[in-house]
Amino acid sequence: MAQAARPDLILMDVQLPRLSGLDATRQLRADPRTADVPIIVVTSFALSGDDVKAREAGANAYLAKPYSPRDLLAKIREILPEG
C-alpha cells in the first residue's frame, strides 16, 4: 500500500498481525519506491535494545508507548522538512 500511496511519513507498530513492524520496515527500505519514506517505529511492549533494532531495520525514530502527543509531534518535526 505504501508503494502506491507514497506517504510523507509512516508510523509503524512493532506488533503487527502477520508480519513484525521491523520486518515491514526492512521491506519498505529495500523497495526503491519507499526507501526514503520516513518511518517512526512505535511499540507498547518496549524491551531493552528495541530502539537499536528499530534503527538497524531502517527506522528514522523510535517511540515507546505511552508517549505524549508532544513527543510524537516533536519526532515528526525532526524528521519531516518544513512545509
pTM score, whole prediction: 0.85
The pLDDT, as a whole number, for residue 50 is 81
Q: In whole angstroms, what is the distance from residue 69 CA to residue 24 CA?
A: 24
Asked if 21 contacts 41 with a C-beta cutoff of 8 angstroms, the reply is: yes
Q: Could you tell me how many residues make up the chain?
A: 83
The pLDDT, as a whole number, for residue 39 is 96
Q: What is 2-79's CATH number, 3.20.20.370, 3.90.480.10, 3.40.50.1370, 3.40.50.2300?
A: 3.40.50.2300
* Sheet containing 10-13: order of strands: 10-13, 39-43, 61-64
The pLDDT, as a whole number, for residue 67 is 87
Q: In whole angstroms, what is the distance from residue 14 CA to residue 30 CA?
A: 18
The pLDDT, as a whole number, for residue 46 is 67
Q: What is the pLDDT along the chain (83 residues), one digit of tens a residue?
A: 656 668 999 999 888 788 889 999 999 999 999 999 999 999 877 667 788 999 999 999 999 888 899 999 999 999 997 75
- Among 14, 68, 20, CA closest to 44: 14
